[in-house]
Amino acid sequence: MCGIFAVWNAPKAAELTVMGLHVIQHRAIDYAGIVSSDGVNLYRECGKGVARDVFTSDKLNRLHGKSALGHIRYPTVSDDKTLDNIQPIMGIHGNRLIAIAHNGNLTNTEQLEEMIHTKFATSMDTECIPRLLEKHDTGHFERDIISVLVSLRGSFSLGILLPDKLIAIRDKTSNRPLSIGRAGESYFISSETCAFPNVGAEYVQDVEPGTIVTIGPQGIRTTLFAEADEKKCRFEVIYFSHPASVVFGEHAGHVRVRVGRMLEELYPAQEADIVVPIPDSGNLFALGFSKSGRSGKLSGAISRNHYVGRTFIAATQAGRDEEVSKKFIFSSEEIRGKSIVVVDDSLVRGTTLCAVISHLRRLHARAVHVRVGFPPVRHPCRYGVNTREYKELMASSLSVEEIRARIGADSLEFLPLEALKKLSPEPEKFCYACITGDYW
């Protein structure tokens, strides 16, 4: 779970990069890093936290130049205390520094490490790329990076900054998104298209599967390095991307409304009074679900608390869930005596849903029906989404009926895989491994 945003040839490149990372901040909130270029040197700054907090004006002042490559990420290891693992990571090619940012996950790292025979400075799979590049260094970047790319397995969307070039790469499966935007003579790379409006840019194209896009003083050039073999992540459009993004050609917001509508057609809840999304993940699914008017009307009985801050554990008399209490505000008057359809995008660990339902019961809901906009997630993702271990996935060991009993719902329905495929433009070009376990 990572995000990339980069700027080529724009004044205040580092600030624009922060603005871009801020818009895709939902992809990862733990670390942020930016490398900038003034055409000759590279400058690197990074830190722990969200982009707008990490990049103080002090740090921005040190990020000289008109181009910049930014990255946000989750920790690889849960208790990673060092800052070694913040991206972009640095490498050397042709006696010059380069910076690499990676979204995705390599699946043949053991084999790659054997090819390298050197100690690693970080614990990230990404480090294989600069290390291999050093082995293949002939001084000609495009040729050398292709030699490296063909040895990689798994998913990788990459941004690479050289002193005088910005490069975007997507592997042949195009499992992770990566798009290009433009504003006059300035170019932008982003994991999601929703970041372009806020930096004044317009969406131009996606980086095509198996291609390298090189942006430099001579303009933009595309090179194919592998035949497309698409396995686009179906979870991106449902859960991970921002609803304002166009992901793999689909508008994420529209898809979610359509899923909500289909869910209601398949599994109506005719005795329900109100349809309540888990905000904000369930909002658009609930909007679609309530469209027909048959299964209750849309309600904001649960709203999201916009103020964050440290969490502490209050062992209070009522045994309330502190996390839910921190994140949500409940309207007792809306809930009391009602039959409620709770709608969410997906069910992974199930802890939030469980706590929300128990909260609704305590506030005297008459009945609680649950509708989920994605099939049960039964298998961990190996391609860059942190969907947890098997033991943390509620659906890996429980049937739908057992889940319903565990979370305390009166009824529970998931969008079936067939329905999901029917909603997909070219269903065979997507990855469903987290549903089926069919890894590639």
Positions in 342-381 near a copy of itself (CB under 8 A): 359, 362-363
Spatial CB neighbours of 286, under 8 Å, sequence gap ≥ 6: 260, 275, 276, 277, 298, 341, 343
**150 near a copy of itself, rule: CB under 8 A:** no
- Quick one: which of 211, 210, 181 has its CA closest to 198? 181
User: What are the DSSP E strand ranges found in 245-310?
Assistant: 246-247, 250-251, 274-277, 297-298, 302-304
**C-alpha 257: how far from its chain's center?**
19
Please identify, using beta-carbon distances, which residue of 193 and 295 lies nearer to a copy of itself. 193
**317 near a copy of itself, rule: CB under 8 A:** yes
> Which one of 56-64, 100-108, 204-212, 344-352 is the stretch in contact with a copy of itself (CB under 8 A)?
56-64
Chosen residue from 77, 150, 224, 329 binding a copy of itself by CB under 8 A: 329
| Smallest gap from residue 65 Cβ to a copy of itself (A) | 10
**186 near a copy of itself, rule: CB under 8 A:** yes
| Smallest gap from residue 69 Cβ to a copy of itself (A) | 17
Quick one: which H or E segment has residue 130? helix 128-135
Active-site residue, selected from the candidate residues 2, 233, 354, 431: 2
**121 near a copy of itself, rule: CB under 8 A:** yes
| 359's tokens | 């909260």
Residues numbered 12-51 forming contacts with a copy of itself, rule: CB under 8 A: 12, 15-16, 18-19, 22-23, 25-26, 29, 38-41, 43, 49-51
Q: b or e along 347-362 (b: 16 or more beta carbons within 10 Å of the residue's beta carbon)?
A: bbebebbbbbbbbbee
Tell me the C-alpha distance between 22 and 254, whole Å: 23
What one-character DSSP code corresponds to residue 241? S
Q: b or e along 202-220 (b: 16 or more beta carbons within 10 Å of the residue's beta carbon)?
A: ebeebbebbbbbbbbeeeb
Please identify, using beta-carbon distances, which residue of 12 and 261 lies nearer to a copy of itself. 12
| Smallest gap from residue 233 Cβ to a copy of itself (A) | 20
| Smallest gap from residue 330 Cβ to a copy of itself (A) | 4
**96 near a copy of itself, rule: CB under 8 A:** yes
Q: Are strands 89-93 and 67-73 parallel, antiparallel or unpaired?
A: unpaired
> Which one of 117-125, 151-159, 172-180, 207-215 is the stretch in contact with a copy of itself (CB under 8 A)?
117-125
Chosen residue from 138, 143, 197, 418 binding a copy of itself by CB under 8 A: 197
**434 near a copy of itself, rule: CB under 8 A:** no
Chosen residue from 136, 147, 183, 350 binding a copy of itself by CB under 8 A: 183
Residues numbered 205-244 forming contacts with a copy of itself, rule: CB under 8 A: 242-244
Tell me the C-alpha distance between 158 and 156, whole Å: 6
What one-character DSSP code corresponds to residue 198? G
**147 near a copy of itself, rule: CB under 8 A:** no
**162 near a copy of itself, rule: CB under 8 A:** no
Please identify, using beta-carbon distances, which residue of 308 and 391 lies nearer to a copy of itself. 308
Please identify, using beta-carbon distances, which residue of 258 and 378 lies nearer to a copy of itself. 258
**82 near a copy of itself, rule: CB under 8 A:** yes
Chosen residue from 79, 312, 389, 391 binding a copy of itself by CB under 8 A: 312
| Smallest gap from residue 333 Cβ to a copy of itself (A) | 5
Site size toward a copy of itself (CB under 8 A) is 96
Q: Which amino acid is at 230?
A: E
Would you call 361 helix, strand, or coil by DSSP? helix
Respond yes or no: is residue 2 known to be catalytic: yes
Q: Are strands 430-431 and 186-190 parallel, antiparallel or unpaired?
A: unpaired
**115 near a copy of itself, rule: CB under 8 A:** no
- Quick one: which of 141, 153, 145, 170 has its CA closest to 112? 153
**3 near a copy of itself, rule: CB under 8 A:** no
Tell me the C-alpha distance between 232 and 96, whole Å: 34
Residues numbered 267-306 forming contacts with a copy of itself, rule: CB under 8 A: 280, 283-284, 287, 298, 300-301, 303-306
- Quick one: which of 230, 68, 223 has its CA closest to 149? 223
> Which one of 54-62, 165-173, 376-384, 422-430 is the stretch in contact with a copy of itself (CB under 8 A)?
54-62
Cis peptide before 280 (omega within 30 of 0): yes
- The residues carrying an active-site annotation are 2
